[in-house]
Amino acid sequence: MKHELREETDFHLLVLSGEIDLHHSPALRELILDSLKDGDALLIDMQQVSYIDSSGIASLVEGFQTAKRTNLDYGLLSISDAVQQVLGITRLDGIFPLFDSEEMFVQSFSR
């Protein structure tokens, strides 16, 4: 897994690529939780993620729960087919806020 964390004007953008598995999920968990500690909304770009297993999903879920508990906006951006398949199987595609663009994410909490 490779990542880039960018601080945008209204939120943090975490861009992920590669495989997210048991080996990489602790780092993902730490990235997500550290980003949320700053008190900013978090958007995770999943477009270049080629594989994700249950441990990676667990990190995303924990981030979502933390954001919800602390009233922070959280979403997934441009999820890849591989991620979409896993979210569909686990029925989490109806739980996570999914966005096609950064602008749509900002509009969702600017109202």
Spell out, as residue ranges, where the chain has pLDDT lower than 70: 110-111
* 48 closest CA partner among 77, 23, 80: 80
Q: Which amino acid is at 21?
A: D
CATH of domain 2-105: 3.30.750.24
pLDDT for the residue 6: 95
How buried is residue 72: exposed, middle or buried, by Cβ count under 10 Å (0-12/13-18/19+)? buried
Structure confidence at residue 11 (pLDDT): 94
Structure tokens at 5: 């964390």
Q: What is the pTM of this model?
A: 0.93
| pLDDT score for 110 | 61
- Residue 81: the pLDDT is 94
Boundaries of every domain in the chain: 2-105
